[in-house]
């Protein structure tokens, strides 16, 4: 192209009217069973040693649970792979307890009779030497990677509405199942919500999809009659109209489910875990990882910062990306996108936001958010974000305690 020719392109305008869809899966979905087991192991080990290193993967299938991965921690396992007294039994009890709490007492998957295999082993010394702090270095990131955080003011939780409603439908059905109000429901379920947006805001549901495992004596119509009232309770008034399409158990029968119907693996529902497709994802899963793994802790920090930006009224939507190199404490980059809705220069946020969490090193994130606690199993179903902070430190990344500082920064 000749040097004197300049090509310009007008910035793309955000669409104001469109359809968007997100899905969720229940605590009894086979992948979520795996996630909850992995995070229950993280909690078990952090309760013994807050500095434990854990990378636990879980496989679930017909009456079988297998865990594998790398661990290190005082009172857990030595460097030769020898378990501390009683720990192996605690691990098995923890696994069976998760399956029991979810509600699996089926012929094909039962907490009491399933076969359990434990293949955890000591963490690689080569990984440890890069991550651990030393006399001349701060604690480094547990791996390279990119992490994202997002917030939107379209719901009170500052989450995408399609995902928030998808989660809440399944939580309502699970609560009814656990309470005994709906004894015909079984643990495995999926939901999907499509909303119509006008002027960038959700206004109505165009389709609702719910597939839920059920007792063999229920027909498709009976399942639909159970499910619909819970959906109607979750969605705002007026969102369901005469034109809303309903698809309740569209295959007709869903009796065989959970790990008996489909194998489950840790980390296969990362979009359900985060923002339902409304924001980018760096690719790393959260569950089964201790908080030195930036796949988890830095993604939590990005959500924390993005949520505070939106809660402070500095933007309607905010996406934050951060990147790391394994063994290096300082982030390689910080990127902020306010999607054309900002009331502050994005470059200012890129410079100042890391300072609010101690520079965003892995150690600073863990200390600021108090992540070295057994708080993770509860996050492994119905989303890691959009939850209410707990008194014991759970979901600390959902706090909005930076709002005053951000308002002062904008002023």
Specify the DSSP element, H or E, that contains 119.
strand 115-122
Whether the CB-CB separation of 79 and 129 falls below 8 Å is answered with no
End-to-end CA distance of the chain: 45
Distance, C-alpha 264 to centroid of its chain: 16
- 262 in a labelled binding site: yes
Whether the CB-CB separation of 392 and 324 falls below 8 Å is answered with no
Cβ atoms within 10 Å of 226's Cβ, excluding its own: 21
The catalytic residues are: 29, 31-32, 57, 70, 190, 254, 262-263, 268-269, 289, 293, 295
3-class secondary-structure state, position 342: coil
- 93 in a labelled binding site: no
Q: Quote the CA–CA distance of 186 and 207 in Å, as a whole number.
A: 23
- 293 in a labelled binding site: yes
- 285 in a labelled binding site: yes
Whether the CB-CB separation of 318 and 337 falls below 8 Å is answered with yes
- 70 in a labelled binding site: yes
- 188 in a labelled binding site: yes
C-alpha distance from residue 184 to each of 25, 106, 143, 331, 398 (Å): 18, 14, 45, 50, 34
What are the residues whose beta carbons fall under 8 Å from the beta carbon of 180, sequence distance 6 or more?
Answer: none
- 346 in a labelled binding site: no
263 backbone dihedrals φ, ψ, rounded to 5°:
-65, 150
What are the residues whose beta carbons fall under 8 Å from the beta carbon of 401, sequence distance 6 or more?
Answer: 308
- 171 in a labelled binding site: no
- 49 in a labelled binding site: no
- 321 in a labelled binding site: no
Rounded to 5°, the CA angle 395-396-400 comes to: 115
Residue list for the binding site: 29, 31, 57, 70, 123, 188-190, 262, 268-269, 285, 289, 293
Known binding-site positions for Mg(2+): 31
Q: Which residues are annotated as a binding site for K(+)?
A: 57
Residue positions in the annotated binding site for ATP?
29, 188-190, 262, 268-269, 285, 289
Known binding residues for L-methionine: 70, 123, 262, 293
């Amino acid at each position: 192209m000749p040097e004197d020719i300049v090509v310009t392109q007008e910035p793309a305008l955000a669409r104001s009217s469109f359809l968007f869809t997100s899905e969720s899966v229940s605590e009894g979905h086979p992948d979520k069973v795996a996630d909850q087991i992995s995070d229950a192991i993280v909690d078990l080990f952090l309760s013994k040693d807050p500095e434990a290193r854990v990378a636990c993967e879980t496989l679930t299938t017909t009456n079988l649970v297998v865990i594998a991965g790398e661990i290190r921690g005082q009172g857990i396992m030595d460097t030769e792979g020898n378990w501390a007294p009683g720990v192996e039994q605690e691990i098995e009890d923890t696994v069976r307890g998760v399956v029991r709490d979810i509600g699996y007492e089926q012929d094909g998957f039962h907490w009491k009779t399933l076969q359990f295999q434990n293949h955890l082993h000591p963490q690689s010394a080569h990984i440890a030497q890069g991550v651990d702090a030393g006399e001349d270095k701060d604690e480094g990131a547990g791996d390279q990677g990119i992490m994202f955080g997002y917030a939107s003011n379209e719901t009170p939780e500052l989450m995408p509405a399609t995902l928030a409603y998808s989660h809440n439908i399944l939580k309502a059905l699970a609560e009814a199942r656990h309470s005994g109000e709906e004894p015909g429901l079984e643990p495995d379920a999926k939901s999907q919500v499509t909303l119509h947006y006008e002027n960038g805001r959700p206004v109505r549901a165009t389709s609702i999809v719910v597939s839920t495992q059920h007792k063999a004596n229920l027909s498709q119509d009976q399942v639909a009659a159970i499910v619909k009232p819970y959906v109607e309770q979750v969605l705002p008034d007026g969102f369901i109209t005469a034109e809303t399409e309903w698809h309740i158990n569209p295959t007709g029968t869903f009796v065989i489910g959970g790990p008996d119907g489909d194998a489950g693996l840790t980390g296969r529902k990362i979009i359900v875990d985060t923002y339902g497709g409304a924001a980018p994802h760096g690719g790393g899963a959260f569950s089964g990882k201790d908080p030195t793994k930036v796949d988890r802790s830095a993604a939590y920090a990005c959500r924390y910062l993005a949520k505070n930006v939106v809660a402070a009224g500095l933007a309607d939507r905010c996406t934050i990306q951060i990147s790391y190199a394994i063994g290096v404490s300082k982030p390689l980059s910080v990127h902020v996108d306010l999607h054309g809705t900002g009331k502050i220069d994005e470059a200012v946020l890129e410079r100042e936001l890391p300072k609010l969490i101690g520079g965003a090193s892995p150690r600073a994130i863990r200390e600021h958010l108090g992540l070295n606690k057994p708080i993770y199993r509860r996050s492994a179903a119905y989303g890691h974000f959009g939850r209410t902070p707990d008194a014991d430190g759970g979901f600390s990344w959902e706090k909005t305690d930076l709002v005053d500082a951000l308002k002062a920064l904008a002023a």
